[in-house]
Chain A
Protein backbone atom coordinates (compact mmCIF):
# COMPACT_ATOMS: atom_id res chain seq x y z
CA UNK A 1 0.00 0.00 0.00
CA UNK A 2 1.37 3.41 -0.92
CA UNK A 3 1.11 6.30 1.48
CA UNK A 4 -0.84 8.54 -0.90
CA UNK A 5 -3.59 5.91 -1.11
CA UNK A 6 -3.73 5.49 2.64
CA UNK A 7 -7.30 5.41 4.03
CA UNK A 8 -7.93 8.59 5.97
CA UNK A 9 -9.79 9.68 9.07
CA UNK A 10 -12.97 11.73 8.79
CA UNK A 11 -15.64 13.34 10.95
CA UNK A 12 -19.40 13.15 11.27
CA UNK A 13 -20.77 16.38 9.76
CA UNK A 14 -22.73 18.53 12.21
CA UNK A 15 -24.73 21.67 11.29
CA UNK A 16 -22.84 23.56 14.03
CA UNK A 17 -19.57 23.16 12.09
CA UNK A 18 -20.68 23.66 8.49
CA UNK A 19 -19.80 27.33 8.08
CA UNK A 20 -16.43 26.88 9.74
CA UNK A 21 -15.60 23.92 7.50
CA UNK A 22 -16.41 25.91 4.38
CA UNK A 23 -14.39 28.91 5.59
CA UNK A 24 -11.37 27.10 7.05
CA UNK A 25 -11.33 23.93 4.88
CA UNK A 26 -9.71 21.81 7.61
CA UNK A 27 -7.34 19.02 6.60
CA UNK A 28 -9.55 16.01 7.35
CA UNK A 29 -10.03 13.13 4.95
CA UNK A 30 -13.80 13.04 4.53
CA UNK A 31 -17.18 13.62 6.14
CA UNK A 32 -20.09 11.34 6.95
CA UNK A 33 -23.76 12.36 7.14
CA UNK A 34 -26.91 10.61 8.30
CA UNK A 35 -28.97 10.01 5.17
CA UNK A 36 -32.26 10.85 6.90
CA UNK A 37 -31.15 14.45 7.54
CA UNK A 38 -31.01 15.07 3.79
CA UNK A 39 -34.38 13.75 2.67
CA UNK A 40 -36.10 17.13 2.61
CA UNK A 41 -36.66 18.99 -0.66
CA UNK A 42 -34.26 21.87 -0.04
CA UNK A 43 -33.09 24.41 2.51
CA UNK A 44 -29.88 24.80 4.52
CA UNK A 45 -29.10 21.04 4.83
CA UNK A 46 -28.68 20.62 1.07
CA UNK A 47 -27.15 24.09 0.64
CA UNK A 48 -24.26 23.25 2.97
CA UNK A 49 -23.84 19.61 1.99
CA UNK A 50 -23.58 20.50 -1.74
CA UNK A 51 -20.73 22.87 -0.93
CA UNK A 52 -18.93 20.54 1.47
CA UNK A 53 -19.30 17.63 -0.96
CA UNK A 54 -17.57 19.74 -3.62
CA UNK A 55 -14.50 19.89 -1.33
CA UNK A 56 -14.43 16.50 0.45
CA UNK A 57 -15.28 12.83 -0.11
CA UNK A 58 -18.54 11.88 1.57
CA UNK A 59 -19.95 8.80 3.28
CA UNK A 60 -23.73 8.35 3.65
CA UNK A 61 -24.77 6.53 6.82
CA UNK A 62 -28.41 5.46 7.02
CA UNK A 63 -30.06 5.34 10.43
CA UNK A 64 -33.69 4.66 9.50
CA UNK A 65 -33.93 1.92 6.88
CA UNK A 66 -34.64 -0.74 9.52
CA UNK A 67 -32.89 -3.54 7.66
CA UNK A 68 -33.90 -5.99 10.39
CA UNK A 69 -37.64 -5.27 10.17
CA UNK A 70 -39.63 -8.50 10.07
CA UNK A 71 -42.38 -6.80 8.06
CA UNK A 72 -39.97 -5.46 5.43
CA UNK A 73 -38.34 -2.15 4.71
CA UNK A 74 -40.55 0.74 3.63
CA UNK A 75 -40.13 0.95 -0.17
CA UNK A 76 -40.68 4.71 -0.04
CA UNK A 77 -37.80 5.13 2.36
CA UNK A 78 -35.44 3.07 0.23
CA UNK A 79 -36.33 5.30 -2.71
CA UNK A 80 -35.50 8.38 -0.64
CA UNK A 81 -32.16 6.85 0.37
CA UNK A 82 -31.43 6.20 -3.28
CA UNK A 83 -32.18 9.85 -4.09
CA UNK A 84 -29.63 11.00 -1.46
CA UNK A 85 -27.02 8.52 -2.74
CA UNK A 86 -27.61 9.46 -6.39
CA UNK A 87 -27.36 13.16 -5.60
CA UNK A 88 -24.23 13.14 -3.44
CA UNK A 89 -22.29 10.18 -4.93
CA UNK A 90 -20.72 9.01 -1.65
CA UNK A 91 -17.67 6.72 -1.57
CA UNK A 92 -19.34 4.64 1.16
CA UNK A 93 -23.00 3.85 1.95
CA UNK A 94 -23.70 2.11 5.25
CA UNK A 95 -26.55 0.99 7.50
CA UNK A 96 -26.98 -0.92 10.76
CA UNK A 97 -27.58 -4.48 11.87
CA UNK A 98 -30.71 -3.39 13.71
CA UNK A 99 -34.41 -2.65 13.33
CA UNK A 100 -36.41 0.48 14.16
CA UNK A 101 -39.76 0.17 12.38
CA UNK A 102 -42.54 -2.30 13.10
CA UNK A 103 -46.33 -2.12 12.58
CA UNK A 104 -45.60 1.06 10.61
CA UNK A 105 -44.22 2.81 13.71
CA UNK A 106 -40.71 4.25 13.68
CA UNK A 107 -39.02 3.81 17.06
CA UNK A 108 -36.08 6.20 16.50
CA UNK A 109 -33.46 3.88 17.92
CA UNK A 110 -31.30 1.04 16.63
CA UNK A 111 -33.01 -1.93 18.25
CA UNK A 112 -31.39 -5.36 18.69
CA UNK A 113 -31.99 -8.51 16.63
CA UNK A 114 -31.82 -12.15 17.75
CA UNK A 115 -28.94 -13.88 16.00
CA UNK A 116 -30.66 -16.86 14.43
CA UNK A 117 -30.68 -18.52 11.02
CA UNK A 118 -34.15 -17.01 10.41
CA UNK A 119 -32.91 -13.49 11.17
CA UNK A 120 -29.89 -14.06 8.96
CA UNK A 121 -32.11 -15.00 5.99
CA UNK A 122 -34.31 -11.97 6.61
CA UNK A 123 -31.44 -9.49 6.91
CA UNK A 124 -29.51 -10.97 3.97
CA UNK A 125 -32.63 -10.64 1.80
CA UNK A 126 -33.06 -7.00 2.84
CA UNK A 127 -29.39 -6.15 2.29
CA UNK A 128 -29.68 -7.68 -1.18
CA UNK A 129 -32.79 -5.56 -1.80
CA UNK A 130 -30.93 -2.39 -0.78
CA UNK A 131 -27.83 -3.21 -2.83
CA UNK A 132 -29.99 -3.97 -5.87
CA UNK A 133 -31.95 -0.71 -5.47
CA UNK A 134 -28.83 1.39 -5.00
CA UNK A 135 -26.78 -0.51 -7.56
CA UNK A 136 -23.81 -0.76 -5.21
CA UNK A 137 -22.39 -2.56 -2.20
CA UNK A 138 -23.31 -1.26 1.24
CA UNK A 139 -21.63 -1.73 4.61
CA UNK A 140 -23.45 -3.07 7.66
CA UNK A 141 -22.43 -1.90 11.13
CA UNK A 142 -22.16 -4.06 14.25
CA UNK A 143 -24.56 -2.69 16.90
CA UNK A 144 -24.15 -1.74 20.54
CA UNK A 145 -26.66 -3.74 22.57
CA UNK A 146 -28.05 -3.86 26.09
CA UNK A 147 -30.07 -7.10 25.86
CA UNK A 148 -29.81 -10.55 24.34
CA UNK A 149 -32.61 -12.88 23.34
CA UNK A 150 -33.75 -16.42 24.09
CA UNK A 151 -32.88 -19.00 21.47
CA UNK A 152 -29.99 -17.26 19.76
CA UNK A 153 -28.05 -19.61 17.52
CA UNK A 154 -24.75 -17.87 16.80
CA UNK A 155 -22.46 -15.13 18.07
CA UNK A 156 -22.64 -11.66 16.49
CA UNK A 157 -19.31 -12.04 14.69
CA UNK A 158 -20.46 -15.26 13.04
CA UNK A 159 -23.75 -13.63 12.06
CA UNK A 160 -21.93 -10.69 10.44
CA UNK A 161 -19.48 -12.98 8.66
CA UNK A 162 -22.31 -15.08 7.24
CA UNK A 163 -24.22 -11.92 6.26
CA UNK A 164 -21.20 -10.56 4.37
CA UNK A 165 -20.63 -13.86 2.57
CA UNK A 166 -24.29 -14.37 1.71
CA UNK A 167 -25.18 -10.83 0.59
CA UNK A 168 -21.81 -9.57 -0.60
CA UNK A 169 -22.08 -6.57 1.71
CA UNK A 170 -19.06 -5.07 3.45
CA UNK A 171 -18.87 -4.39 7.17
CA UNK A 172 -18.52 -1.24 9.21
CA UNK A 173 -16.65 -2.08 12.41
CA UNK A 174 -17.70 0.24 15.24
CA UNK A 175 -15.07 -0.35 17.91
CA UNK A 176 -16.96 1.67 20.50
CA UNK A 177 -20.00 -0.57 19.94
CA UNK A 178 -17.78 -3.60 20.58
CA UNK A 179 -16.57 -2.10 23.87
CA UNK A 180 -20.12 -1.14 24.92
CA UNK A 181 -21.57 -4.58 24.13
CA UNK A 182 -18.59 -6.36 25.71
CA UNK A 183 -19.12 -4.49 28.98
CA UNK A 184 -22.89 -5.06 28.92
CA UNK A 185 -22.70 -8.76 28.08
CA UNK A 186 -19.54 -9.55 29.98
CA UNK A 187 -17.41 -10.78 27.09
CA UNK A 188 -13.88 -9.83 26.11
CA UNK A 189 -13.65 -7.16 23.40
CA UNK A 190 -10.30 -8.55 22.18
CA UNK A 191 -11.77 -12.02 21.75
CA UNK A 192 -14.66 -10.52 19.80
CA UNK A 193 -12.27 -8.57 17.58
CA UNK A 194 -10.11 -11.67 17.06
CA UNK A 195 -13.11 -13.48 15.58
CA UNK A 196 -14.39 -10.48 13.57
CA UNK A 197 -14.22 -10.99 9.77
CA UNK A 198 -11.81 -8.11 9.16
CA UNK A 199 -11.40 -8.98 5.47
CA UNK A 200 -14.91 -7.53 4.95
CA UNK A 201 -14.34 -4.30 6.94
CA UNK A 202 -14.33 -1.19 4.75
CA UNK A 203 -14.86 1.47 7.45
CA UNK A 204 -14.27 1.91 11.17
CA UNK A 205 -16.31 4.03 13.59
CA UNK A 206 -14.94 5.49 16.82
CA UNK A 207 -17.12 7.29 19.39
CA UNK A 208 -17.52 8.04 23.07
CA UNK A 209 -19.77 6.19 25.51
CA UNK A 210 -21.22 6.78 28.97
CA UNK A 211 -20.80 4.49 31.96
CA UNK A 212 -23.90 4.12 34.14
CA UNK A 213 -23.38 2.74 37.60
CA UNK A 214 -26.33 1.86 39.80
CA UNK A 215 -26.71 -0.57 42.69
CA UNK A 216 -23.18 -1.82 42.14
CA UNK A 217 -23.88 -2.76 38.50
CA UNK A 218 -22.36 -1.11 35.48
CA UNK A 219 -23.85 -0.57 32.03
CA UNK A 220 -22.11 1.14 29.12
CA UNK A 221 -24.36 3.35 26.97
CA UNK A 222 -23.51 4.28 23.38
CA UNK A 223 -23.99 8.05 23.67
CA UNK A 224 -21.64 9.63 21.06
CA UNK A 225 -21.48 12.65 23.35
CA UNK A 226 -17.84 12.80 24.51
CA UNK A 227 -14.23 11.97 23.70
CA UNK A 228 -13.26 8.43 22.76
CA UNK A 229 -12.23 6.23 25.67
CA UNK A 230 -8.65 5.01 26.10
CA UNK A 231 -9.79 1.41 25.70
CA UNK A 232 -11.38 2.19 22.31
CA UNK A 233 -8.19 3.95 21.16
CA UNK A 234 -6.07 1.00 22.31
CA UNK A 235 -8.24 -1.54 20.46
CA UNK A 236 -8.29 0.71 17.38
CA UNK A 237 -4.46 0.77 17.29
CA UNK A 238 -4.38 -3.03 17.62
CA UNK A 239 -6.96 -3.55 14.86
CA UNK A 240 -5.09 -1.21 12.49
CA UNK A 241 -1.73 -2.80 13.35
CA UNK A 242 -3.06 -6.32 12.65
CA UNK A 243 -5.41 -5.72 9.75
CA UNK A 244 -4.17 -2.54 8.08
CA UNK A 245 -5.67 0.95 7.86
CA UNK A 246 -9.33 1.56 6.99
CA UNK A 247 -11.29 4.81 6.49
CA UNK A 248 -12.03 5.78 10.08
CA UNK A 249 -14.79 8.08 11.35
CA UNK A 250 -15.09 10.05 14.56
CA UNK A 251 -18.79 10.15 15.56
CA UNK A 252 -19.84 12.90 17.94
CA UNK A 253 -23.59 13.41 17.67
CA UNK A 254 -24.70 14.86 21.02
CA UNK A 255 -23.16 17.59 23.19
CA UNK A 256 -21.43 18.55 19.94
CA UNK A 257 -18.06 20.16 20.76
CA UNK A 258 -16.23 23.05 19.12
CA UNK A 259 -14.84 22.00 15.74
CA UNK A 260 -11.26 22.11 17.07
CA UNK A 261 -12.04 19.41 19.65
CA UNK A 262 -13.59 17.14 17.03
CA UNK A 263 -10.70 17.82 14.65
CA UNK A 264 -8.27 16.84 17.43
CA UNK A 265 -9.91 13.39 17.62
CA UNK A 266 -9.76 13.06 13.82
CA UNK A 267 -6.04 13.93 13.86
CA UNK A 268 -5.40 11.34 16.53
CA UNK A 269 -7.14 8.67 14.42
CA UNK A 270 -5.20 9.88 11.38
CA UNK A 271 -1.91 9.47 13.22
CA UNK A 272 -2.78 5.85 14.00
CA UNK A 273 -3.59 5.17 10.33
CA UNK A 274 -0.45 7.03 9.26
CA UNK A 275 1.86 5.06 11.56
CA UNK A 276 0.68 1.80 10.00
CA UNK A 277 0.89 3.27 6.51
CA UNK A 278 4.47 4.42 7.08
CA UNK A 279 5.31 0.97 8.36
CA UNK A 280 3.77 -0.67 5.27
CA UNK A 281 5.56 1.77 2.95
CA UNK A 282 8.91 0.96 4.55
CA UNK A 283 8.22 -2.76 4.36
CA UNK A 284 7.23 -2.57 0.68
Chain B
Protein backbone atom coordinates (compact mmCIF):
# COMPACT_ATOMS: atom_id res chain seq x y z
CA UNK B 1 0.00 0.00 0.00
CA UNK B 2 1.29 3.49 -0.85
CA UNK B 3 1.80 6.02 1.89
CA UNK B 4 -1.05 8.48 2.27
CA UNK B 5 -0.04 12.09 1.59
CA UNK B 6 -0.26 12.95 5.30
CA UNK B 7 1.75 9.87 6.20
CA UNK B 8 4.74 10.58 3.96
CA UNK B 9 6.90 12.14 6.67
CA UNK B 10 6.18 9.22 9.00
CA UNK B 11 6.88 6.76 6.18
CA UNK B 12 10.35 8.22 5.67
CA UNK B 13 10.99 8.22 9.39
CA UNK B 14 9.88 4.59 9.77
CA UNK B 15 11.99 3.58 6.78
CA UNK B 16 15.12 5.16 8.30
CA UNK B 17 14.29 3.82 11.76
CA UNK B 18 13.75 0.28 10.47
CA UNK B 19 16.99 0.29 8.46
CA UNK B 20 18.95 1.57 11.45
CA UNK B 21 17.43 -1.07 13.75
CA UNK B 22 18.48 -3.92 11.48
CA UNK B 23 21.85 -2.78 10.15
CA UNK B 24 25.00 -3.86 11.93
CA UNK B 25 26.86 -0.62 12.73
CA UNK B 26 24.94 1.45 15.27
CA UNK B 27 23.78 4.74 13.80
CA UNK B 28 20.86 6.78 15.10
CA UNK B 29 18.48 7.80 12.30
CA UNK B 30 17.71 11.44 11.52
CA UNK B 31 14.53 12.80 13.08
CA UNK B 32 15.31 11.69 16.61
CA UNK B 33 15.81 14.54 19.02
CA UNK B 34 19.43 15.46 19.52
CA UNK B 35 18.98 17.11 22.90
CA UNK B 36 18.93 13.64 24.44
CA UNK B 37 22.66 14.07 24.78
CA UNK B 38 25.18 11.30 25.14
CA UNK B 39 22.55 8.67 25.82
CA UNK B 40 21.04 9.06 22.34
CA UNK B 41 22.90 6.00 21.01
CA UNK B 42 22.10 4.01 24.13
CA UNK B 43 18.42 4.87 23.85
CA UNK B 44 18.22 3.88 20.20
CA UNK B 45 20.25 0.81 21.14
CA UNK B 46 17.43 -0.35 23.43
CA UNK B 47 15.12 -0.65 20.42
CA UNK B 48 17.83 -2.38 18.38
CA UNK B 49 18.47 -4.79 21.19
CA UNK B 50 14.76 -5.46 21.83
CA UNK B 51 14.29 -6.36 18.16
CA UNK B 52 17.42 -8.44 17.67
CA UNK B 53 17.56 -10.16 21.05
CA UNK B 54 13.89 -11.14 20.90
CA UNK B 55 14.25 -12.59 17.40
CA UNK B 56 17.50 -14.40 18.28
CA UNK B 57 15.78 -15.83 21.37
CA UNK B 58 12.86 -16.99 19.23
CA UNK B 59 15.27 -18.77 16.88
CA UNK B 60 17.17 -20.35 19.78
CA UNK B 61 13.89 -21.60 21.26
CA UNK B 62 12.87 -23.34 18.04
CA UNK B 63 16.31 -24.63 17.02
CA UNK B 64 17.67 -25.90 20.38
CA UNK B 65 19.65 -28.80 18.89
CA UNK B 66 21.27 -26.57 16.27
CA UNK B 67 22.20 -24.27 19.15
CA UNK B 68 23.62 -27.15 21.18
CA UNK B 69 25.63 -28.44 18.21
CA UNK B 70 27.31 -25.11 17.43
CA UNK B 71 27.33 -23.61 20.95
CA UNK B 72 25.45 -20.57 22.26
CA UNK B 73 27.99 -18.01 21.10
CA UNK B 74 28.16 -19.12 17.47
CA UNK B 75 24.39 -19.66 17.39
CA UNK B 76 23.75 -16.09 18.49
CA UNK B 77 26.23 -14.78 15.93
CA UNK B 78 24.62 -16.72 13.09
CA UNK B 79 21.12 -15.81 14.28
CA UNK B 80 22.06 -12.13 14.04
CA UNK B 81 23.34 -12.61 10.47
CA UNK B 82 20.12 -14.44 9.61
CA UNK B 83 17.96 -11.70 11.18
CA UNK B 84 19.77 -9.03 9.18
CA UNK B 85 19.47 -10.94 5.89
CA UNK B 86 16.02 -12.43 6.45
CA UNK B 87 14.04 -10.25 8.86
CA UNK B 88 10.52 -11.46 9.70
CA UNK B 89 7.76 -10.72 7.24
CA UNK B 90 4.90 -11.67 9.55
CA UNK B 91 3.91 -10.38 13.00
CA UNK B 92 3.18 -13.99 13.96
CA UNK B 93 6.52 -14.94 15.43
CA UNK B 94 5.73 -18.67 15.25
CA UNK B 95 6.15 -18.28 11.49
CA UNK B 96 9.69 -16.90 11.72
CA UNK B 97 12.58 -19.15 10.73
CA UNK B 98 11.09 -21.20 7.87
CA UNK B 99 14.18 -20.48 5.73
CA UNK B 100 16.75 -20.86 8.53
CA UNK B 101 17.74 -24.32 7.22
CA UNK B 102 18.34 -22.97 3.71
CA UNK B 103 20.36 -20.11 5.19
CA UNK B 104 22.54 -22.66 7.03
CA UNK B 105 23.28 -24.44 3.71
CA UNK B 106 25.33 -21.44 2.67
CA UNK B 107 26.75 -20.45 6.06
CA UNK B 108 30.52 -20.98 5.87
CA UNK B 109 31.39 -21.00 9.59
CA UNK B 110 29.35 -24.21 10.10
CA UNK B 111 30.37 -25.93 6.85
CA UNK B 112 32.12 -28.62 8.94
CA UNK B 113 28.69 -29.68 10.27
CA UNK B 114 27.03 -30.65 6.97
CA UNK B 115 24.04 -32.23 8.74
CA UNK B 116 23.11 -28.92 10.43
CA UNK B 117 20.59 -27.78 7.78
CA UNK B 118 18.68 -31.08 8.00
CA UNK B 119 18.64 -30.86 11.82
CA UNK B 120 17.17 -27.37 11.39
CA UNK B 121 14.55 -28.81 9.00
CA UNK B 122 13.62 -31.41 11.61
CA UNK B 123 13.33 -28.77 14.34
CA UNK B 124 11.30 -26.49 12.09
CA UNK B 125 8.92 -29.38 11.33
CA UNK B 126 8.42 -29.82 15.08
CA UNK B 127 7.40 -26.15 15.46
CA UNK B 128 5.04 -26.37 12.49
CA UNK B 129 3.53 -29.57 13.93
CA UNK B 130 2.94 -27.83 17.27
CA UNK B 131 0.72 -25.18 15.61
CA UNK B 132 -0.85 -27.34 12.88
CA UNK B 133 -4.53 -28.14 12.61
CA UNK B 134 -5.80 -30.85 14.96
CA UNK B 135 -7.04 -34.22 13.72
CA UNK B 136 -7.71 -37.64 15.21
CA UNK B 137 -5.22 -40.32 14.15
CA UNK B 138 -6.58 -43.53 12.60
CA UNK B 139 -5.93 -46.89 14.24
CA UNK B 140 -3.81 -49.43 12.37
CA UNK B 141 -6.71 -51.85 12.89
CA UNK B 142 -8.38 -50.15 9.91
CA UNK B 143 -5.53 -51.39 7.74
CA UNK B 144 -5.27 -54.92 9.15
CA UNK B 145 -9.03 -55.43 8.77
CA UNK B 146 -8.85 -54.55 5.09
CA UNK B 147 -9.06 -57.58 2.74
CA UNK B 148 -5.57 -58.08 1.22
CA UNK B 149 -6.85 -57.52 -2.32
CA UNK B 150 -8.07 -54.03 -1.30
CA UNK B 151 -4.68 -52.90 0.06
CA UNK B 152 -3.30 -51.71 -3.27
CA UNK B 153 -6.21 -49.36 -3.95
CA UNK B 154 -6.42 -48.03 -0.36
CA UNK B 155 -6.13 -44.24 0.04
CA UNK B 156 -4.39 -43.04 3.20
CA UNK B 157 -5.06 -39.53 4.52
CA UNK B 158 -2.08 -37.82 6.15
CA UNK B 159 -2.39 -36.01 9.49
CA UNK B 160 -2.05 -32.21 9.02
CA UNK B 161 0.73 -32.06 11.65
CA UNK B 162 2.91 -34.82 10.11
CA UNK B 163 6.14 -34.17 8.23
CA UNK B 164 8.91 -36.38 6.83
CA UNK B 165 12.52 -35.27 6.43
CA UNK B 166 14.89 -37.61 4.57
CA UNK B 167 18.58 -36.92 5.06
CA UNK B 168 21.91 -38.41 3.98
CA UNK B 169 22.90 -37.91 7.64
CA UNK B 170 21.65 -39.75 10.77
CA UNK B 171 19.47 -36.81 11.79
CA UNK B 172 17.13 -38.75 14.08
CA UNK B 173 20.08 -40.15 16.06
CA UNK B 174 21.77 -36.76 16.25
CA UNK B 175 18.54 -35.01 17.27
CA UNK B 176 17.68 -37.67 19.86
CA UNK B 177 21.03 -37.75 21.64
CA UNK B 178 21.25 -33.95 21.69
CA UNK B 179 17.72 -33.66 23.03
CA UNK B 180 17.63 -36.39 25.65
CA UNK B 181 21.23 -37.13 26.71
CA UNK B 182 23.16 -35.00 29.14
CA UNK B 183 26.32 -35.91 27.23
CA UNK B 184 25.52 -36.41 23.54
CA UNK B 185 26.69 -39.81 22.29
CA UNK B 186 29.51 -39.66 19.74
CA UNK B 187 28.30 -40.46 16.23
CA UNK B 188 28.61 -44.03 15.00
CA UNK B 189 31.65 -44.76 12.84
CA UNK B 190 29.45 -45.66 9.90
CA UNK B 191 27.04 -42.80 9.34
CA UNK B 192 24.01 -43.80 7.35
CA UNK B 193 21.23 -41.51 6.30
CA UNK B 194 18.00 -41.44 8.29
CA UNK B 195 14.44 -40.43 7.52
CA UNK B 196 12.66 -38.56 10.30
CA UNK B 197 8.91 -38.61 10.93
CA UNK B 198 7.46 -35.73 12.96
CA UNK B 199 3.93 -36.09 14.33
CA UNK B 200 1.57 -34.50 16.82
CA UNK B 201 -1.27 -36.96 17.35
CA UNK B 202 -2.69 -34.97 20.27
CA UNK B 203 -0.82 -32.30 22.29
CA UNK B 204 2.75 -33.57 22.22
CA UNK B 205 5.13 -33.51 19.25
CA UNK B 206 7.06 -36.75 18.55
CA UNK B 207 10.04 -37.66 16.36
CA UNK B 208 10.33 -41.20 14.92
CA UNK B 209 12.70 -42.96 12.52
CA UNK B 210 11.22 -44.26 9.27
CA UNK B 211 12.75 -46.85 6.94
CA UNK B 212 14.68 -45.60 3.89
CA UNK B 213 12.35 -44.81 1.01
CA UNK B 214 9.42 -43.96 3.29
CA UNK B 215 9.73 -40.30 2.30
CA UNK B 216 8.88 -41.31 -1.27
CA UNK B 217 5.86 -43.31 -0.11
CA UNK B 218 4.58 -40.38 1.94
CA UNK B 219 5.16 -37.93 -0.93
CA UNK B 220 3.06 -40.17 -3.20
CA UNK B 221 0.33 -40.49 -0.56
CA UNK B 222 0.32 -36.70 -0.20
CA UNK B 223 -0.40 -36.55 -3.95
CA UNK B 224 -3.38 -38.84 -3.36
CA UNK B 225 -1.75 -41.87 -4.95
CA UNK B 226 -3.19 -45.19 -3.76
CA UNK B 227 -1.08 -47.34 -1.45
CA UNK B 228 -0.13 -49.78 -4.26
CA UNK B 229 1.22 -47.12 -6.61
CA UNK B 230 2.95 -45.30 -3.72
CA UNK B 231 4.64 -48.55 -2.63
CA UNK B 232 5.90 -49.20 -6.17
CA UNK B 233 7.37 -45.71 -6.33
CA UNK B 234 9.06 -46.17 -2.94
CA UNK B 235 10.48 -49.53 -4.00
CA UNK B 236 11.85 -48.03 -7.20
CA UNK B 237 13.51 -45.28 -5.12
CA UNK B 238 14.88 -47.70 -2.57
CA UNK B 239 15.31 -51.41 -3.46
CA UNK B 240 14.99 -52.68 0.14
CA UNK B 241 11.97 -50.50 0.98
CA UNK B 242 10.30 -51.97 4.07
CA UNK B 243 6.54 -51.37 3.69
CA UNK B 244 5.47 -53.24 6.84
CA UNK B 245 7.71 -51.22 9.18
CA UNK B 246 6.82 -47.99 7.38
CA UNK B 247 3.08 -48.55 7.78
CA UNK B 248 3.29 -49.66 11.41
CA UNK B 249 5.43 -46.61 12.20
CA UNK B 250 3.12 -44.21 10.35
CA UNK B 251 0.00 -45.55 12.05
CA UNK B 252 1.68 -46.03 15.43
CA UNK B 253 2.94 -42.43 15.41
CA UNK B 254 -0.45 -41.00 14.52
CA UNK B 255 0.56 -39.84 11.05
CA UNK B 256 -2.52 -41.26 9.28
CA UNK B 257 -6.05 -39.95 9.81
CA UNK B 258 -8.17 -41.77 7.24
CA UNK B 259 -8.21 -44.94 5.19
CA UNK B 260 -10.63 -45.30 2.30
- Residues of chain B having any CB pair with chain A under 8 Å: 1-4, 6-11, 13-15, 17-18, 21-22, 31-34, 36, 38-40, 42-44, 46-47, 50-51, 54-55, 58, 87-94, 129-134, 160-161, 200, 203
Q: Kindly list chain A residues whose C-beta atoms are within 8 Å of the C-beta of B2.
A: 71
**Inter-chain contact A43/B32, CB cutoff 8 Å:** no
Assess whether A71 is in contact with B87, with CB atoms less than 8 Å apart.
no
Q: Which A residue sits closest to B135, measured CB to CB?
A: A42
Chain A, interface size category, equals 35 or more
Within 8 A of B (CB), among A35-65: 36-37, 39-47, 63-65
Report the minimal beta-carbon distance from B259 to chain A, rounded to whole angstroms: 22
Q: Are A80 and B92 in contact (CB under 8 A)?
A: yes
A150 at the B interface (CB under 8 A): yes
Contact B43 A184 (CB under 8 A): yes
Q: Is the CB of B160 within 8 A of A41?
A: yes
For the complex, what is the distance from the CA of A217 to the CA of B160, rounded to whole Å? 53
> Which residues of the partner chain B approach A70 to less than 8 Å between Cβ atoms?
3-4, 7-8, 10-11, 13-14
Nearest 5 Cβ contacts at the A-B interface = A64-B91, A40-B131, A70-B11, A42-B134, A72-B1
* B33 contacts A39, C-beta separation under 8 Å: no
Give chain B residues whose Cβ lies under 8 Å from the Cβ of A69: 14
Set of chain B residues within 8 Å of A89, measured between Cβ atoms: none
Which residues of B lie under 8 Å from residue A100 when comparing CB positions?
91
Cβ of A229 under 8 Å from chain B: no
Interface pair A147/B43, CB less than 8 Å apart: yes
Does A86 reach chain B (CB closer than 8 Å)?
Answer: no
Q: A71-B1, A102-B18, A150-B33 are in contact. Are A45 and B131 (CB under 8 A)?
A: yes
Residue A119 interfacial (CB < 8 Å):
yes
5 sample A-B contacts, Cβ–Cβ < 8 Å, listed by A number? A40-B130, A40-B132, A45-B131, A71-B7, A105-B87
| Cβ–Cβ < 8 Å partners of B14 in chain A | 69-71, 99, 102, 111
Nearest CB of chain A from residue B90's CB, rounded to whole Å = 6
Task: Please give, as numbers and ranges, the residues of chain A lying within 8 Å of B15 by CB-CB distance.
Answer: 102-103
| B134 near A43: Cβ-Cβ < 8 Å | yes
